[in-house]
Structure 1
Amino acid sequence: MSIPYRPALAGFEPYGAPQLDVPVALNVNENPYAPSPALIADIASAVAGAAGTLNRYPDREFLDLRQDLADYLAVESKVRLAPEQIWAANGSNEVMLHILQAFAGPDRSVLTFIPSYSMYPEYARDTNSTMVTVPRKDDFSIDLAELSDIFARYRPAVVLLASPNNPTGTALSTDELTAVMEASIGNGPEDAPGSDCLVVVDEAYGEFRRDGVLSALELLSTYDNLAVSRTMSKAFGAAGLRLGYLGTSREIVDQLRIVRMPYHLSALTQAAARAALAHSSEQLSQVQGIREARNEMAERLSSLGLEVAPSDANFVMFGTFPDRHRIFADLLDRGILIREVGPDGWLRVSVGTPEENDAFFAALEEALA
C-alpha cells in the first residue's frame, strides 16, 4: 500500500515520556496528590449536571469558565484580567498550537532559547513554521547582550519562553523578561513590517515559583504583544483534566478564536474545570507544601555532592554525570522512574510524596555508590 505521507513528518516518533508500571514514577512533573474527596464529589456533581445537556453543543465561548480563571489569577498573581482576555483549550499544548496557527506558519519563524520544553519544535513543525533555537548561557540564563542582534537577525513571529523553564526549573528574572519584551518591539516577521514579535511566556509551573519571582502576568498592562500561558495540570493536580489557558490582550484572543475548532472544550471539561477552580484555595495551600518539599529535595541532592539547578518548579534538575543513563537505569532497576532529559549529564526528578521522595533518595544513594 502506498499512501501520501507528509514528507515533513518522515522519521519522527510520537511525543511521550516513558509510561512504565513502577512503584515510584517521578518523571512527568505531576502533582503527586490525588484530588480531595470534597473536590472529587464537586467535580462528579458538576459533570453529572452537564451530562444532562450532552445532546446540545457546549458553550462555544465558555465565558463563565474564563471568568473563573480570571478570578483565580487575580488571587494567585494579583493581576485582574477581563474574561475576554482569557483563552483556554485542551491543555496548554493546544493553547500553544492555537497561538502558532494564528501567528506563525509558513515563511514565519518561532524562536526559543534552549534547553527548553521539547514540544516547542513539534508545535513549529505541525504548523509549518521555522523553528529557531538559541543556546542559553552555562547557568541557563538568556544572554541579554545578544538579544537585539538575535531578534533583528531572525525576525520571529512568535517567541516561546518557559518560565519556570522545563527541564531546568529556572525562572526568568525581571531583567530577562523586560529585555526580551523590549527586543521584541518592531522586530516582528518581515512580511508584517513594523510589527512586534508575539512573546509567549509559558508558566505551566508558575504557581511553584519562589517568593519574589515575577509572573509575566504583571507585564500584560505594559506590553500588548505578550501572552502568558498557564495550566491546571500541575498546581491543581488535574493533569487528567487537560485544561490549559492564557492571559493576553483581547485582540490576541480574538485571533485564537478564529483558528480553534468549533466547540473545542466539551461541556464536561468546562464543568469539571469550574468545580476544580472553586477549590483553588485548597490547591494553593497544597502547592506551598510541594514548594517546601522541592527545596528540601534540592538541599539533599546538594548534600550528596551533586550539582543542582535552581528551581522554581515542582521538579529539580541535578547532575552532572559522565554516564547519566547508568544512573537512570540503576534507579529504574530499583523501581524509581525519573527523566533522562535536558543537557548532557543532567537528570530531572519530580517532587513526589514524602514516601516517594525517600524511596528516590535511598535508590539514588545506592546507585551513586
Structure 2
Amino acid sequence: MRLEDLPIRDDLRGMSPYGAPQIDVPVRLNTNENPYGPSEALVADLAEAVRRGAGELNRYPDRDATALRADLAAYLGHGLTGERVWAANGSNEVIQQILLAFGGPGRTAMGFEPSYSMHRLLSLGASTEWVPAAREDDFGIDPDKAVAAIEEHRPAIVFLTSPNNPTGTALDPEVVARIVRAAPGMVVVDEAYFEFARTGTPSALTLLPDHPRLIVTRTMSKAFAMAGTRLGYLAADPAVIEALLLVRLPYHLSTLTQTAARVALSHGRELLGTVDALRAERDATVTWLRGRGLAVADSDANFVLFGGFDDRHAVWQALLDRGVLIREVGPPGWLRVSIGTSEEMAAFRAALEEIL
C-alpha cells in the first residue's frame, strides 16, 4: 500500500509534510530553538510539581486551562486577563483552531510570502484556500499593496508574521493597523519570535483594544526555551475565545503540559535572561556574514537569513559535512541559521569560512 493508493482528500494529494531534517550532528542550528537549557532549579521545581500532580493523572485536566491562561495574561501585560488568552499544544495548534473556527470550505486565507510555511499548510488542511501575497525586496510589506490585495481577494483570515520567519523582519504596527482596518475577517499576527525583537519594538498587543478581530499568537518554544513542552497561546477579544471553544478538542492540554508551562512562567526572568545574549550573537552574525560579502536580511528574531548562493544546497551540504546543520529555506539562493551559543556560532563561522 502506498500513500497515493489511499482515498485521501484530493486537495491533499501531492503535498509533503512539514518538517526540518532531524540529523544528529555536533552543531544544530536549523530549528530556531533556544540553545540554553533549563536550570537545575527549574528542573527541580518542575519535577516536584509533576510529582504533586501525578496522583491526579487518573482525572482529566482542567479543560479550559484557567490557571495557566491567567498566568499567561499576567506575563503578557497590556491589561489582559485570562478571559482574553487561549492556549494549545504549540502555536501551530492555536493557528489550526483559528482556521477551524474562521476558515473552511469556500473561504480563503492570505499570507505575505516568504513567511512561515505552516500558515499555508494548516490552511489547506482546514480546507481553506490559500492566497499568497508578495513581500518587498527587503522582505517588508508595502501597506498600499497589502490593502489592494485584501480588497481584491476578501480573505476570511490574514496572516502576518512579526518578526517574520524565515526572514527575521519585524512589522511596523501602523502597517498591521492598516491591514486590520482593511480586512473583512480576522487578522492573525504571529509573534512567535517577539521576545527577540529589538528593545522598544511595539507588539501588536497594543492594537487589541481597538481591533476586536485581531488575534496575536505567541509561543513558549523560542525565548522561553521550552520547545519540548509544546505550548502556544494567543491574546484576543473574549468573543474570539468563545469561537475557539467550539472547535477545540476536549481536554486538549494535558495536566503535565499545563504544569510545565506554569513552572516555566514562574521562572520567566531566568529563562528570558538568555535573550540579550542571543540578540548580541545575532547582530554579530549579521555583521560577520556581511563582512564576507553575503546578502543578509535584517533580523529581529533568533535566526539570520543569508544568501547570494548559486547552489545553496551545496553550501548546506558542505556545512553538514563539517558537523553544522542549518536550514535550507526561504527564497532561492538563501539559507537560514539559528543563533546558538557562542561556541556553536564560532563553529558555524569556521565551517562557512572554509566553504567560502
The residue type paired with residue 198 of structure 1 is M
Q: Which shows bigger deviation, 169-178 or 264-273?
A: 169-178
Deviation string, structure 1 residues 227-256 (Cα, Å, up to 9, x no partner): 100000001100000000000100001100
- Uncovered stretches (5+) of structure 2, i.e. residues with no partner: none
Task: Work out which of the residue numbers 215, 220, 234 in structure 1 matches 2:222.
Answer: 234
The residue type paired with residue 117 of structure 1 is Y
The residue type paired with residue 91 of structure 1 is G
Q: Equivalent residue of 1:288, what SS?
A: helix
Structure 2 equivalent of residue 59 of structure 1 = 62
Q: Equivalent residue of 1:119, what SS?
A: helix
Q: Equivalent residue of 1:132, what SS?
A: strand
Deviation, structure 1 residue 80: 2.1
Structure 1 equivalent of residue 86 of structure 2 = 87
Task: Work out which of the residue numbers 49, 70, 75 in structure 1 matches 2:73.
Answer: 70
CA contact (8 A) 2:147 2:178 kept: no
Structure 2 equivalent of residue 249 of structure 1 = 237
Deviation string, structure 1 residues 124-147 (Cα, Å, up to 9, x no partner): 111100000011111111122223
Structure 1: which 4+ aligned runs deviate by more than 6 Å?
A: none
C-alpha distance in 2, partners of 1:18/1:340?
10
CA contact (8 A) 2:32 2:222 kept: yes
Deviation, structure 1 residue 169: 0.3
TM-score normalised by L of structure 2? 0.97
1:48 is aligned to 2:51: yes
C-alpha distance in 1, partners of 2:146/2:351?
42
Task: Work out which of the residue numbers 18, 22, 26 in structure 2 matches 1:19.
Answer: 22
The residue type paired with residue 25 of structure 2 is V
Structure 2 equivalent of residue 333 of structure 1 = 321
Deviation string, structure 1 residues 72-118 (Cα, Å, up to 9, x no partner): 112xxxx1201010000000000000000000100000000000001
C-alpha distance in 1, partners of 2:190/2:203?
10
C-alpha distance in 1, partners of 2:308/2:139?
14
Deviation, structure 1 residue 327: 1.0
Structure 1 equivalent of residue 105 of structure 2 = 106
Structure 2 equivalent of residue 350 of structure 1 = 338
C-alpha distance in 1, partners of 2:180/2:10?
35
Deviation, structure 1 residue 212: 2.2
C-alpha distance in 1, partners of 2:225/2:301?
14
C-alpha distance in 2, partners of 1:213/1:61?
31
Task: Work out which of the residue numbers 343, 351, 355 in structure 2 matches 1:363.
Answer: 351
Distance 1:3 1:348, change over 3 A: closer
| Corresponding pairs, count | 353
TM-score normalised by L of structure 1? 0.94
The residue type paired with residue 108 of structure 1 is R
1:306 is aligned to 2:309: no
Q: Which shows bigger deviation, 104-113 or 44-53?
A: 44-53
The residue type paired with residue 167 of structure 1 is P
CA contact (8 A) 2:115 2:167 kept: yes
Structure 2 equivalent of residue 194 of structure 1 = none
1:259 is aligned to 2:265: no
CA contact (8 A) 1:147 1:183 kept: no
Structure 2 equivalent of residue 204 of structure 1 = 192
Structure 1 equivalent of residue 180 of structure 2 = 181
Q: Equivalent residue of 2:209, what SS?
A: coil
1:217 is aligned to 2:205: yes
Structure 1 equivalent of residue 304 of structure 2 = 316
Identity across matched positions, percent: 55
The residue type paired with residue 32 of structure 2 is N
Instruction: Give me the CA root mean square deviation.
Output: 1.1
- Uncovered stretches (5+) of structure 1, i.e. residues with no partner: 189-196
The residue type paired with residue 327 of structure 1 is V
